A and B are shown apart, each in its own frame.
Chain A
Amino acid sequence: MLSQPHLDKRFSERAGYFPISGEHLYTVLHEVEDPVGRVLLVGPFASERHKSYIPWVRWARYLADRQIEVLRYDYRGIGESTGVFEQMTFDDWMEDVRELSNWLRKRSPDVPLVLHGLELGALLAGRTFNDGVGDALLLWSPPLNANQALRRTLLRWVGLEQIFQCPDERKPASQHIRQLEMGDNLDVEGYCWSPDLWRSSFAIEMPESIVDGDIATAVYKRPVEIVTLGREASPLVKGGSVGYDEAKDFTWLFDANFGWIASALAVYGGH
């Protein structure tokens, strides 16, 4: 049964709006006293945000309970952030990561900062890390490039759409892709994908050095971990059953990844 805890004084969650280039990012800071580390959570893209939200928030709370301050946010034009989705670009979303990283870093520069991304967020976090931001990098199911992430979302959406369509009405994914390539917008789960978004997604690639954790750690001389999540991690990743998986126990995943974060922070004298 559902129970509602009273406000836990050990940690507080501060929601706010972060001004950026004429828009506002919705942010939630899981604030802790004397943090041993900070983590910026860079979440999955657009419609994937909604599906993974509950375990993503629980992960933030899990870390905050362990003296790690967490900042999570919505991309510009998505969720609670302001802006028009179809006008946004990958450059805008990269800027979001950079600006929030800087803000989080400035709270106390001596506390190490970990960038942690999921799916498309992993790509953005990886590219930001490649630019020299962050002391450690944790990636969950990173795609090779942004187009791969978009394509996965598109395929799943097409599959869902087909459930409610007669055989004559069904369009294969290739037809939708052609629509984008021909310069038309495509409405995917309420988000208007523009041809520019699709075209530009091919160029947003994971830096070559970040394909393997050990190699990346050696190259950047900063800890890097890459984890591929399977279906058992739904709804953090695609799959599973809506209405049943939300309350799933993720201790196995959280414990293991917290262990890695703790060891990464130890490099910098934390934990």
Chain B
Amino acid sequence: MEEQLETRELVVLEGSGVFLRGTLHKASRQDAESKTGLTERDRVGIVFLNSLSIPRASTGDSAVYWADAFAACGYPSFRFDLPGLGDTPGILATNLLDFINGGGYAAITSAKMKELVERFDLSGVVIVGHCAGVVTAVHAATSCKECKGLILMDPYFHLTKALRPKIRQILSEWARRSRIGGAISDIYDRMRDIRRTVQKGPLPKNANFPLLAHWKRVASTGLPILMFKAPGLKSPGMKPRLGEFDYLEYTLALAGHKGRVEVEFIEGTDHSFADRVGRVAVRQRATIWLSEFFPPLGLQKAAQEVPSLEDRAGDGKTEGSQLYAPPLRFEKGTETTTWM
């Protein structure tokens, strides 16, 4: 058995007696590296976190695909299993979803990012979170000066319930499957929309307030953030389903004038981004974004100048703007990308 291959290495972070198992996708060593004299120490590492309970390969092994792609572009990329998940030992919270939604993995993630940066001589890390992984990434970023950027995939900012009352499940199922049910569901959505318009302003009761507070701390200080959004049920574009609170708009507003948040809507994929359309779109857009904020070689100095959270929270010297990159349109089954 070998512990490393030409392009991959199995790694264990064991600082403070806490084990974390993961895989390193080694950055490709291009000619430019020898010319500039820069080494791993000058690079930003990309770190993938678990999406809820899924092992570090992620749905359809999409995280493996992205980590390979980013490594090929010169970014050492890491995929870790958090305690109790995948191959990492640990006792799982009985209610894993609530545990993650409460930022339960943030402290260990933050500590391990520090350990990772020291061990691999990185200039910092970009944390990639998907779904519940977003919650961990945002929470961790507030206490992690090593975090230089975030890639967030299909984030949610409310407290989700995996277990819904049986009657609601039956009604939802009926609404999905029957045309009459669908029509009633549309009326229900309109009524909710009217109520929301009338009540305008307050966040829904099930908003994840601590997460939103962490988001504000992170995003409003200029940390580069790339957000991917997939089509949802009855919400084919950037806007939420009729009657639902527009968290995207709200979080972008929270980021304020210093925020450097880019949002990409990927049409034709699903929540996992693991299908061909989704994985190619994420790879292409994230690669562009990374090269813009964290140039892989030679221009790394610019990336290193992205201020830490403490610095960002200071006098606000770093200028930034709320960015809305044009959404990508992908043709299903091809790798063609067109800018709308």
Residues in A lying within 8 Å of B, measured CB to CB: 1-8, 13-19, 24, 27-29, 47, 49-50, 53-54, 57, 61, 78-80, 82, 85, 161-164, 166-167, 187, 189-192, 241-244, 246-247
Contacts and interface: CB of A to CB of B under 8 A. Distances in A.
Nearest to A19: B2
Contacts of B232: 164
A17 B91 contact: no
A74 B270 CA distance: 25
A61 B231 CA distance: 39
Contacts of B55: 49-50, 53, 79
Contact of B52 (A1, A16, A17, A242): A242
Nearest to B57: A79
A250 B321 CA distance: 51
Contacts of B326: none
A247 B93 contact: yes
B5 A15 contact: no
Nearest to A17: B2
B270 A161 contact: yes
Contacts of B87: 13, 15, 28, 57
Contact of B91 (A3, A7, A79): A3
A5 B52 CA distance: 21
Contacts of A80: 23, 56-57, 64
A8 B17 CA distance: 10
A163 B176 CA distance: 7
Contact of A79 (B61, B96, B177, B179): B61
Contacts of A61: 89
Contacts of B84: 2, 54, 247
A2 B10 contact: no
Interface stretch (B31-39, B122-130, B272-280): B272-280
B244 interface: no
A161 B52 CA distance: 19
Nearest to A241: B162
Contacts of A29: 1
A161 B233 CA distance: 10
B95 A244 contact: yes
A76 to B, nearest CB: 12
Contact of B3 (A4, A17, A163): A17
Contacts, number: 147
A243 B96 contact: yes
A189 B59 contact: yes
12 contacts: A2-B92, A2-B99, A4-B17, A13-B89, A53-B54, A162-B176, A164-B233, A167-B177, A243-B97, A243-B132, A244-B97, A247-B95
Most chain B CB atoms below 10 A, which of A8, A167, A187, A243: A243
Nearest to B332: A187
A5 B90 contact: yes
Given A2-B91, A167-B177, A190-B59, A244 B163 contact: yes
B89 A190 contact: no
Given A2-B92, A17-B1, A247-B92, A190 B17 contact: no
A176 B132 CA distance: 30
Nearest to A46: B60
A53 B14 contact: no
A243 B92 contact: no
B176 A27 contact: no
Nearest to B277: A187
Contacts of A53: 53-55, 86
A16 B3 contact: yes
A5 B91 contact: yes
A247 B132 CA distance: 17
A14 B272 contact: no
B327 interface: no
B182 to A, nearest CB: 6
B83 A190 contact: no
